Amino acid sequence: MQLDKESTILVTGAGGFIGGHLMAELIRSGHQSVRGVDIKPLEEWYQLPSQVEAIQSDLSLIDAANQAVSGVRYVVNLAADMGGMGFIENNKALCMLTVLINTNLLQAARHGEVERYFYSSSACVYASEHQTKTDVTALKESDAYPAMPEDGYGWEKLFSERMCRHFREDFGVATRIARYHNIYGPEGTWQGGREKAPAAICRKVAEAKLTDRKDIEIWGDGLQTRSFTYIDDCLKGTLLLLTGDYVEPLNVGSAELVSINQLVDIVEEIGAVSLERHYDLDAPKGVRGRNSDNTLIQEVFGWQPSTHLRDGLEVTYRWVYDQLAAQLSA
Ligand code: NAD
């Protein structure tokens, strides 16, 4: 199907990283009725195109969810109380309370006119037994079961995936589910405790440049592996899934596997600096290795994320550097 650009599309978590980019992309591509909802005050939203109907409200409340979905044809649910490993390992209850948001939105969608409902799940749903080595076998969609996801955050995501499945099967809500793998890019969280590895490493390297520091702290031993997905690929995957016919969860993730040390190498190269590395072995570090198997999304859509990490990090580093420089000079 194609989205009707005159019908209202709701983006929740609109003040966040992916939500901001998605709203900007929808406006760029001619959508005339975009509604964004986030619990954050509007002045804290990363991006807020002037054409967007922006609402500050708490979607963990059913009345707010009903209002948000009222008159809406498409829902993209990106709202979550989340962050990088430092946040999710220490705030499991808060992460799990996000279940209220998706539940309320599904209820509202069930009783409304919603034609498509997109849910942003995560690679954190995958069973930990598949992620114990650095040279991992990439995760395919079926590896989520038997279930043993990331405690707290991952359980909430897996439960909400099931909720989407059953609202589709039992109530006819046309749900679509992406499992995002480490999305990164400019205009997102880069400091404050919720930032993820790419933004954190960019910030630390930029900080070293700007303050003449010679060393960098890395969480874990630096050998743990991940793949990182650039925001443009995330948006493309999101829109493909939203408009496509495939109803089961699909990975939206880069298959370019790197260690955290290699991630730091790349950012140091971009920043033209070489830093002495200190490893904090007690810091939160998540699973040992994780990569995205893209066989299924390639089969279904003939597409998979393709932005090279180096290229995406170049843009991300410049943005983080500018933010930090502005902050330091203020
Ligand atoms: P983000 O934290 O930047 O954005 C989430 C937004 O949800 C925030 O602005 C937050 O204020 C809002 N929110 C939280 N509670 C709310 C509530 N009760 N009512 C309304 N809004 C509320 O995160 P993001 O990186 O943009 O992620 C978007 C979605 O994608 C999330 O569901 C996240 O779990 C999922 N995801 C992201 C990644 C990633 O690497 N960024 C990876 C896997 C999954």
Read off the pLDDT of residues 42-73 as tens digits, 9 standing for 90 and up.
Answer: 999 999 999 999 999 999 999 999 999 999 99
pLDDT at 307: 98
Which structural domains are found in the chain, ordered by start? Answer: 9-183+229-252 (3.40.50.720), 186-226+257-292+307-329 (3.90.25.10)
**How sure is the predictor about 164, in pLDDT bands with cuts at 50, 70 and 90?**
very high
**How sure is the predictor about 30, in pLDDT bands with cuts at 50, 70 and 90?**
very high
What does the pLDDT look like over 236-276, one tens digit per residue? 999 999 999 999 999 999 999 999 999 999 999 999 999 99
pLDDT at 175: 98
> Which string of DSSP letters, residue by residue, matches 181-230?
--EE-SSS--SSS---HHHHHHHHHHHHHHHT--EEEEES-S--EEE-EE
Measure 1 CA to ligand 1 centroid, in angstroms.
Answer: 26
Closest CA to 124 of 140, 138, 144: 144
Start-to-end Cα distance in the chain: 48
- Cβ(16) to ligand 1 under 6 A? yes
- By residue count, the chain amounts to 330
CA distance 233 to 297: 13
For residue 203, pLDDT over 90 is answered with yes
For residue 199, pLDDT over 90 is answered with yes
Measure 213 CA to ligand 1 centroid, in angstroms.
Answer: 32
153 is catalytic: yes
What residues pair up with 225 in beta bridges, in sequence order? 259, 289
pLDDT at 285: 87
CA distance 232 to 151: 29
**How sure is the predictor about 99, in pLDDT bands with cuts at 50, 70 and 90?**
very high
Nearest CA to ligand 1 atom 29: 78
* Nearest ligand 1 atom to alpha carbon 183: 40
| HSE (side-chain half, CA atoms, 13 Å) at 76 | 29
Tell me which residue has tokens 């002037």.
50
- Cβ(225) to ligand 1 under 6 A? no
What share of the chain has pLDDT > 90, as a percent?
98
**How sure is the predictor about 111, in pLDDT bands with cuts at 50, 70 and 90?**
very high
What is the best residue among 12, 18, 227, 232 to mutate for testing ligand 1's pocket, by most ligand atoms within 8 Å of CB? 18
For residue 112, pLDDT over 90 is answered with no
CA distance 111 to 287: 39
What is the best residue among 12, 57, 161, 180 to mutate for testing ligand 1's pocket, by most ligand atoms within 8 Å of CB? 180
For residue 327, pLDDT over 90 is answered with yes
* Nearest ligand 1 atom to alpha carbon 58: 19
- Which letter does DSSP use for residue 249 in this model? -
Measure 15 CA to ligand 1 centroid, in angstroms.
Answer: 9
pTM over 0.85: yes
Mean pLDDT of the chain: 97
* Nearest ligand 1 atom to alpha carbon 61: 18
Q: What is the SS3 string spanning 13-47?
A: CCCCHHHHHHHHHHHHCCCCCEEEEECCCHHHCCC
- Phi, psi torsion values for 140, nearest 5 degrees: -100, 160
Annotated catalytic residue: which of 46, 153, 180, 321? 153
CA distance 145 to 142: 6
- 74-to-44, 53, 98, 112, 157 alpha-carbon distances in Å: 25, 15, 20, 11, 20
- Cβ(82) to ligand 1 under 6 A? yes
For residue 100, pLDDT over 90 is answered with yes
- What mean pLDDT comes out for the span 28-46? 98
Nearest CA to ligand 1 atom 39: 183
For residue 218, pLDDT over 90 is answered with yes
- Cβ(64) to ligand 1 under 6 A? no
For residue 186, pLDDT over 90 is answered with yes
What does the pLDDT look like over 272-324, one tens digit per residue? 999 999 999 999 989 999 999 999 999 999 999 999 999 999 999 999 999 99
- Cβ(226) to ligand 1 under 6 A? no
- What mean pLDDT comes out for the span 23-51? 98
Would you say 244 and 303 are in contact if contact means Cβ atoms under 8 Å apart?
A: no
